[in-house]
Amino acid sequence: MTDLQGKIGIVTGGGSGIGREVALTLAKRGAHVTIADISEEGGNETVQLIEALGAKALFVKTDVSRLDDVKNYVHTTLNMFSRIDMFFNNAGIEGQVMPLADYPEELFNKVVDINLKGAFYGMKYVIQAMLKNGGGAIVNTASNAGIVGSPGVSPYAGTKHGVIGLTKTAAGEYAAQNIRVNAIAPGPTATNMMERFTQGSEEAHNQVKAGIPAGRYGTPQEVANLVAFLLSDEAPIINGAVYPIDGGLTAL
Ligand code: NAD
């Protein structure tokens, strides 16, 4: 498919998992992509994979919780590619699993800084650039934990609910300027995050799968197909929407 031919995208958290698969999917459809990730190794690997497809890619080492880093990935992309058409605002961490009353304040703040403030900073500076472009499309990564509660990961659930609030609000604020803002809410998806969450235990994996009507995890490619669609011109009237992609988990 070449429906994204010549478009410019930014993917945060593009060094692994869902972000990497989205970056590759955008590149396969003709886009050039900036990878903003805290991991130099993961980010550079994704760039090599994209270049092998014949697309252009750029890695910008970024901690999305740092305002200067966010300004930097936006400015570096504009310097290299002149515009930003698509933004996958995706980097996030899960924190640790423990009840709310035991949750350390420092770790709570870290999850907020990366998952919520990082998403806000990204939207703030990318929207400024898109306003100068004449428009663009943004997809923010929420989670099933942004739709329903998620015992054991209170800051994660709090921040993912927050990402949905930012999504809906920005969608309303910028629709008239041709900027669409949507969110995806993946359920358990087969990435490093799920491995960390279950600590690699077969039993824990089976327990999580047993709670999913489809009986299995989603794949990063399945999520990437949805994201590429939402970022494309195939979805011009879709704005302010939240798409669960979770095998039916949040439907029940
Ligand atoms: P992952 O751990 O495979 O990838 C996350 C990427 O984000 C990594 O490359 C990591 O280096 C990067 N990152 C972490 N902190 C960062 C920071 N401060 N600045 C920049 N980059 C940073 O995980 P994933 O499953 O691909 O997760 C991607 C997104 O999807 C996250 O927002 C996550 O909350 C969300 N999500 C994942 C699942 C799942 O089951 N895997 C479910 C719902 C939502």
Q: For ligand 1, is residue 43 a contact (CB within 6 Å)?
A: no
Residue with tokens 């869902």: 18
User: Cα of 191 to ligand 1 centre, how many Å?
Assistant: 9
Tokens of 15: 């060094």
CB 162 within 8 A of CB 145: no
Q: For ligand 1, is residue 23 a contact (CB within 6 Å)?
A: no
Length of the chain counted residue by residue: 252
Calculate what percentage of the chain has a pLDDT beyond 90. Answer: 99
Q: For ligand 1, is residue 192 a contact (CB within 6 Å)?
A: yes
Q: For ligand 1, is residue 239 a contact (CB within 6 Å)?
A: no
Q: How far apart are CA 95 and CA 173, in angstroms?
A: 31
Domain assignments of the chain as residue spans, ordered by start: 8-246
Angle (CA) 93-35-133 rounded to 5° is 115
Confidence of residue 217 (pLDDT cuts 50, 70, 90): very high
Confidence of residue 2 (pLDDT cuts 50, 70, 90): confident
Count Cα neighbours of 25 within 13 Å in the Cβ-side half-sphere.
Answer: 23
- Residues acting as catalytic residues: 156
Is the ipTM higher than 0.90? The answer is yes
The minimum-distance atom of ligand 1 relative to the CA of 18 is: 26
- CATH class name, domain 8-246: alpha beta
